[in-house]
Every structure is written in structure tokens, then in C-alpha cells.
């Protein structure tokens, strides 16, 4: 699993320190170059850590593992697993040699390593049983110890020393695959498809390797385009690891191609279902799962939520050098899986049926597969918010073609050495401005107010003021967009001190104007919302109740709300994480008071 020098800074699981948490804090994207090689691990760092990526186990360590595994024997040439198949768990090689190779959708193969006696074969997906990113074949007759995903999670919890060694290796192996862009789908485009950026962002935020090729310059891609008779509207093409070709797919189709869509056993009863995998939802998942609750987590797109738009957070406790929201989410995502939380991405909540509330029986509709049901005893609403869009004509037509709501390394690479405009005055806007300023020639920042004092942290205000290539435009509103067949070409805006409207040429407009609560799916259930659509909790949700409600419980028994979606919450990442921890104690209290457990039914539909 050697890696190249591309994009080491954008991997939320990479890092220069030996601390596995530092490693886990850096897994992000796959293509762009490092933003700051002094902060994030470059290629040379991974090369120097091969002994950690592929550690050899001692006889004593293997002996401790035996209670968690099952001995097995395979003959030479036998294929244990192929790219895209569900992981069986972790194999510990007792004798013989196993070959691990990577393969992309175009059939390119490359040997990663050979595992001899004393080495283990596994990757991050081994923890959850998700699709593997490599092919594993027995080069000789091999004696193995197979530790299933379930037993691997038990091992990681039971043995702290082995857990540190295994987790560090699994994370570094995923980092290497991401940096290589191997073991994943191949995205074929012509350089003019907005959906290409969307799919890259989707894969990046889900920490999955991918490769992008140009149909105009790559002979193999051109041959595939000719073979499938692709037309202009078919791009981007996605070549899945199994060889199937998707034509201009959406995120759900791509997820299906990669085997991400989960299957639920209708006889399983979860203790808690969490809707939303932002910092609050992931915190609830980590604390609930680590305390023995059976947890399911659903998110419509990727871990991180709105926090994923934060390029670098410098006021989060414990990270004096800063951490990106995506990196924080990458850490929490792996941590929740380690403790056994079942995380289903991408799924989207569309309705909550509380018609049987007297029996504590609810029905939650999620987009995925028609007819499936997930049973749960309690529910946590952590669905966060959706990006707010200004009322400007042609906005939708330019989304992905010059208008962006996310400032990741993918977008930063697109606008490198360009003049860009960013609209917004909150912390996310400030973090994005600081990040983009290191890539672009000049950044114009538009805010509606007279200053940033009321909406942004002081350290960000000072940082922006010190940037020589950032110009602040106060009391300014966006009024129009113009473009050509390539996308956005200019914007029109109006400032309080200048009349009439003005025009600025730019092909890149970043929108960070806030978000609206994602609560439409709750309206059929009777969960009380405030005038802005945020979820009411505690006394505000039940003002006439004789029994004081739990502080994070909604107007419906057993339904809790945390994070940005909750009315009255402090819209900060640390606050959401704190509420995620606090809600678990309240869930324990709710479950302990149930005289008879009657599960809520969660319906999963496409």
C-alpha cells in the first residue's frame, strides 16, 4: 500500500505523529496537493511508517487474538475476497503467504504487499463488514485465523494495546489507498460536467478512493466511451470496481454501485436510531455504542454534516493547531464503528409516523430500499440543516458550474490562481475564506452587515484582516448571475454606498449564507417545532406537562433532538458534541422507565 505525494493533507486519517488519533484526524480527499505539509503527513511520512502500516504480530499477541478468531485453511490460488465484496473481517496469517492487490474499474491491478506469517490482512471496512477495497488471494497454502467483523470490534474494545496497533494500521492503509486513488471507481469526464464535481465531493467526504480520467486525452477512457456509445448527456461515466458503467449517476446510484446501501434485519431491535451523522449525531453514536446500546445511524450524504464545510477549526478544545470539520467527522466515524454502531450512508429521512405513539411505536421513512423496516426503541433527531440558497435567478443552473456550497480540496484545485467571490459572514464562511485564500489569486468577501463582529469569532476576523489577497465588501447583496455554456462568468451585486448595481467577472462563487433546519420529515409526526422550523425540546416542547420532560426530549415520548436542528441550541460544533454525549444519559433514563419495550418501526424506502 505504498502511496504517492498527492493530497496527503486532505486525508482525515493521515498524520505525521505516531498517535493514532492524530492519524485519524486527517482523512479527507484524494486529489489535491497538501495545503500545509508541515501540518499534514506527506508521502515521505507514510513511507517511514511502513512498519506501522504492516506490523508483525508477536506470538504472544497472536495467542491473545485466538479467543476472538476461528482457525481456517485455504489452498494456493484460492480467492478470499474481491474488491467490492463485503468484508469477512480480519485474517491473521499463521503460515503461508497471501497476496493483496488493488484493482480499479478499468481492470488495472497492482500488488500492494504480500502477507507472511505473523501479519494480518484487514482494512477500515473490516470493522463494519463493509465493501473491501482490495483483492486477497492465497499465494501458497495458508493457515489463517479469521476474526469476523463482530469479533474484531470485540477485540478492539477488550485489548487496548492490540487495538492501538490494529487501528493505526487500518487507518494508514486506507490513507495509502486514498492517496493512490486506487481500489475504487473510475470517473470519466470531459472537463465540463458539474456532476463530476458533485461525485468527487461525495466520494471525498465519504473517505473513499477514486480516480478521475479525461475522455479526451486518456486512450483507455476513450475506448470505453466508444464501446458504450456514450453521448454528451451521459457524462460523467463511472466505471465501478465490478466493471459496470454508470451514465451520469446520482449519489444514490454511485453508492449502490459501491455496495454501500445497507441491509436491515427486520427482526433486529435497535436501542436508538440517530438521524444525522454530523458532530452531534456521531457523538451520540460513539457514547451510546460505547455504553452498550445497540445503535443505528442514518445520514443522507456523508459524515460531518454542515461542519464538514469548516476547512480548519482552531477553537475546538484539544486541537491547538486546528482541525477541519471533515477530519473531526472522519475520526468520530471510525470511532463509532469501532464500538459497533451501524452507520447507514446515504439514507435520507422523509417521514416520521407517530400514529401509534401510545404504544411507543413509530415509523420512520428513509430513502434506500422499498419495504425494509428498522426497529428502534428510541430516536435522536440530529438532522442538522440544509444549505440556504438566495433568491437569485439562474442560481440552480450554475450550481456545480461556478456556484459552490463547499470549499474542499476538490473546489480549491478548480479555482487555483483564479479570482473568486465568497458570500457569508459566519464562522464557516471565515474558515472557507482563509482556506481558499491560500489557493486563489484574490478573494472578494461579501457580507450584508457593516462588519463581521457580530457573526464571526475574533481569531477568524483577525486572520482575514491579515490576508493581503482578501477584499471585504460590506453592506453588499448578490442580485444576479451571468454565464456561458461553460458556466458562471460574472456576478451582479449592489452595495449600500454605490448605485446602481455593479458587475464583477468571476467563474467561482462560494455561498456560505447559513442553513435552514432539516425538519420537514418530522411534520407528519407531531414533533413540535418553533416558528423557524427548529425542534422544540424540554419545557418548551411540553409547556403544559405535569411531569417535567427531559431537557433534550421533544414533544413525543422517546424522540430526542440535539445539535443545530434543536431550537435554542448553541450553533457550535463543541456544543453539538456535548449534546450528543448528554442525550445518551437521557436515553438510558427513558429506556429504563419503559415497563414494556415496544419497538418503533423505521421504514426504509427509495
Instruction: Give the DSSP letter string of 519-561.
Output: -GGGTTTT--B-TTSPBP-GGGT-TT-SSPPPTTB-SSTTEEE
pLDDT, position 183: 67
Rg of the chain over Cα atoms, rounded to whole angstroms, equals 25
* Range list of β-strands (E), 190-282: 211-214, 237-239, 245-247, 269-270, 272-275
Which grid cell is 63? 495467542
- What is the pLDDT, as a whole number, of residue 355? 62
Distance CA 256, CA 261 (A): 6
Say what the pLDDT of residue 18 is: 38
Q: How far apart are the first and last CA of the chain?
A: 37
Residues in Cβ contact with 391 at an 8 Å cutoff, skipping those fewer than 6 apart: none
Q: Residue 452 phi/psi, 5° resolution?
A: -95, 0
Give the integer Cα–Cα distance in Å for 510 and 331.
27
> Which residues, 6 or more positions from 223, have their beta carbon under 8 angstroms from its beta carbon?
none
The structure's pTM equals: 0.86
Q: How many Cβ atoms from other residues are within 10 Å of residue 451's Cβ? A: 13
What is the spatial distance between Cα 28 and Cα 35, in angstroms, rounded to a whole number? 12
Strands 186-189 and 211-214: parallel
The pLDDT assigned to 356 comes to: 52
- Asked whether the beta carbons of 509 and 404 are under 8 A apart, the reply is yes
| Helices 160-180 and 325-338, axial angle in degrees (round to 10) | 130
pLDDT of residue 16: 33
Reduced to 3 states, what is the DSSP secondary structure of residue 472?
A: strand
pLDDT attached to residue 193? 86
User: Looking at residue 9, what is its pLDDT?
Assistant: 37
Q: Find the helix or strand (DSSP H, E) in which 65 lies.
A: helix 59-65
Segments of the chain with pLDDT less than 70? 1-47, 182-183, 309, 355-372, 595-606
Nearest to 334 by CA among 202, 175, 146: 175
What are the E-state strand segments in 152-207? 186-189
90 three-state secondary structure: strand
Residue 571 is predicted with a pLDDT of 86
* Bridge partners (DSSP) listed for residue 568: none
DSSP state of 313: B
Alpha helices in 67-143 (DSSP H): 125-128
pLDDT at 366: 55
What DSSP state is assigned to residue 453? Answer: T
Q: How far is CA 196 from the centre of its chain?
A: 18
| CB of 508 closer than 8 Å to CB of 418 | yes
Closest CA to 95 of 65, 111, 73: 73
CA distances from 543 to 296, 378, 554, 555, 569 (A): 31, 22, 11, 9, 18
Relative orientation angle of helices 279-290 and 573-592, to the nearest 10 degrees: 40
Amino acid at each position: 500500500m505504498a502511496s504517492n505525494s498527492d493530497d496527503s493533507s486532505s486525508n482525515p486519517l493521515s498524520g505525521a505523529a505516531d498517535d493514532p488519533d492524530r492519524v485519524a484526524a486527517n482523512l479527507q480527499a484524494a486529489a489535491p496537493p497538501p495545503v500545509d505539509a508541515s501540518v499534514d503527513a506527506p508521502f515521505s511520512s507514510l513511507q517511514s511508517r511502513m512498519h506501522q502500516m504492516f506490523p508483525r504480530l508477536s506470538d504472544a499477541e497472536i495467542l491473545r487474538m485466538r479467543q476472538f478468531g476461528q482457525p481456517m485453511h485455504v489452498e494456493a490460488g484460492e480467492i478470499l475476497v474481491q474488491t467490492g465484496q463485503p468484508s469477512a473481517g480480519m485474517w491473521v496469517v499463521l503460515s503461508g503467504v497471501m497476496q493483496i492487490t488493488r484493482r480499479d474499474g478499468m481492470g488495472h491491478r497492482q500488488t500492494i504487499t504480500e502477507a507472511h506469517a505473523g501479519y494480518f490482512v484487514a482494512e477500515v471496512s473490516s470493522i463494519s463488514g463493509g465493501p473491501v477495497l482490495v483483492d486477497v488471494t492465497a499465494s501458497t497454502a495458508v493457515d489463517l485465523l479469521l476474526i469476523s467483523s463482530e469479533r474484531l470490534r470485540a477485540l478492539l474494545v477488550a485489548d487496548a494495546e492490540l487495538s492501538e496497533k490494529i487501528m493505526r494500521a487500518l487507518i494508514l492503509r486506507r490513507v495509502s489507498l486514498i492517496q493512490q486513488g486506487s481500489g475504487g471507481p473510475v470517473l470519466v469526464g470531459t472537463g465540463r460536467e458539474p456532476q463530476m464535481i458533485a461525485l468527487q465531493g461525495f466520494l471525498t467526504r465519504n473517505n473513499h478512493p477514486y480516480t478521475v480520467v479525461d475522455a479526451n486525452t486518456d486512450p483507455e477512457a476513450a475506448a470505453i466511451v466508444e464501446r458504450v456509445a456514450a453521448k454528451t448527456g451521459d457524462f460523467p461515466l463511472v466505471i465501478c470496481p465490478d466493471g459496470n458503467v454508470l451514465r451520469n449517476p446520482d449519489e444514490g446510484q454511485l453508492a449502490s454501485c459501491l455496495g454501500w446501501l445497507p441491509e436491515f434485519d427486520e427482526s433486529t431491535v435497535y436501542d436508538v436510531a440517530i438521524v444525522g451523522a454530523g458532530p452531534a449525531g456521531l457523538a451520540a453514536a460513539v457514547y451510546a455504542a460505547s455504553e452498550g446500546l445497540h445503535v443505528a445511524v442514518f445520514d443522507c450524504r456523508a459524515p460531518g454534516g454542515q461542519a464538514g464545510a469548516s476547512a480548519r477549526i482552531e477553537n475546538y478544545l484539544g486541537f491547538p493547531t486546528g482541525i477541519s470539520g471533515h477530519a473531526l467527522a472522519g475520526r468520530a466515524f471510525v470511532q463509532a464503528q469501532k464500538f459497533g454502531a451501524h452507520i447507514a450512508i446515504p439514507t435520507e429521512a422523509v417521514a416520521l409516523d407517530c400514529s401509534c405513539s401510545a404504544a411507543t411505536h413509530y415509523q420512520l421513512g428513509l430513502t434506500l430500499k422499498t419495504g425494509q423496516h428498522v426497529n428502534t426503541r428510541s430516536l435522536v433527531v440530529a438532522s442538522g440543516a440544509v444549505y440556504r440558497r438566495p433568491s437569485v435567478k439562474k442560481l440552480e443552473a450554475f450550481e456545480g458550474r461556478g456556484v459552490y456550497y463547499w470549499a474542499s480540496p476538490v473546489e480549491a484545485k478548480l479555482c487555483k490562481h483564479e479570482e473568486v467571490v465568497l458570500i457569508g459572514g459566519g464562522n464557516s464562511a471565515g474558515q472557507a475564506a482563509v482556506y481558499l485564500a491560500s489557493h486563489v489569486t484574490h478573494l472578494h468577501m461579501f457580507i450584508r452587515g457593516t462588519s463581521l463582529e457580530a457573526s464571526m469569532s475574533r481569531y477568524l476576523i483577525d486572520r482575514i484582516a491579515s490576508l493581503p489577497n482578501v477584499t471585504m465588501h460590506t453592506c453588499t447583496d448578490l442580485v444576479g448571475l451571468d454565464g456561458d455554456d461553460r458556466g458562471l462568468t460574472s456576478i451582479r451585486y449592489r452595495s449600500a454606498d454605490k448605485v446602481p448595481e455593479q458587475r464583477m467577472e468571476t467563474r467561482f462563487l462560494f455561498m456560505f449564507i447559513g442553513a435552514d433546519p432539516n425538519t420537514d420529515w418530522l411534520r407528519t409526526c407531531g414533533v413540535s417545532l418553533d416558528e423557524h422550523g427548529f425542534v422544540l425540546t424540554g419545557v418548551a416542547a411540553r409547556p403544559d406537562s405535569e411531569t417535567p420532560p427531559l431537557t433534550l426530549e421533544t414533544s413525543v415520548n422517546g424522540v430526542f433532538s440535539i445539535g443545530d436542528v434543536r431550537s435554542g441550541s448553541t450553533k457550535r460544533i463543541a456544543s453539538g458534541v456535548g449534546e450528543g454525549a448528554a442525550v445518551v444519559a437521557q436515553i438510558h433514563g427513558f429506556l429504563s422507565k419503559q415497563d414494556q419495550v415496544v419497538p418503533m418501526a423505521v421504514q426504509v424506502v427509495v
